[in-house]
Structure 1
Amino acid sequence: MNHSANINHDAVLRARVALLGSGKPSVRERVAAYRVLVRVSPLAYLPLLSAALWKYSRYEFAHRPEIALALRAESVAAARRMCALEPGWSDLLVTALTNHRELLILMDRREELRAVEEELTRVASGER
């Protein structure tokens, strides 16, 4: 089976047009576009997706912490995937984990916080 058979080329085209249009797309539109484009160009779009997910969680869902937390977890997943593809991107993962940690502290989610802090320590020290 051909890899491109799993990709919706119309969705890819719409995502690129959204990003390259005359106006600056909203963070919501950027997240949607990056989610599509990461399937065709992960090295180019995983860092952008990770950063945009954090912004989306912070600016659009500050009043809905459960949604914000899910978006930050997705940001961490994108950063982890980027580090798996390109190990030199550990700073992206440290940033995503730090942002995730921040919300876990505010929500008093101690067990999850402990796991994130352990991973943060490992990544920051160069361990995998």
Structure 2
Amino acid sequence: MTVPTASEISEYISTLSRWIDEGNAARPTEAQTWARLAKITEEAGEVVAAYIGATGQNPRKGITHTMHDVEEELLDVAITALAALEHVRGHDRRAIELMTEKVRRTMQRARIDTGA
């Protein structure tokens, strides 16, 4: 399997985002955007639920998840957020480019050498 380029990943994310938009085409644009943003919070809640389940913090339920489940939920949050970014930006296929720029700026603020 070849590793996709940043451009290809952005295309995948944009394609997913367009697919979601097509499924919600009957809704007003503002309602679509609210739903996309709220979905990020829902996915974040699933991360917490998976972590509670992986660590057995609910004594009534015990261990119900694995750390792999937590990782999968974290990835769902990332995909959902990046797809919402594509939606908000009109599907310009720049999600990964913008994420990379954001990571660089964050590292600069933290005074971490990017090596670039």
**What TM-score comes out, normalization by structure 1 length?**
0.33
Larger Rg: 1 or 2? Answer: 2
Q: Which structure exhibits the higher relative contact order, with contacts defined as CA atoms closer than 8 Å and separated by 6 or more residues?
A: 2
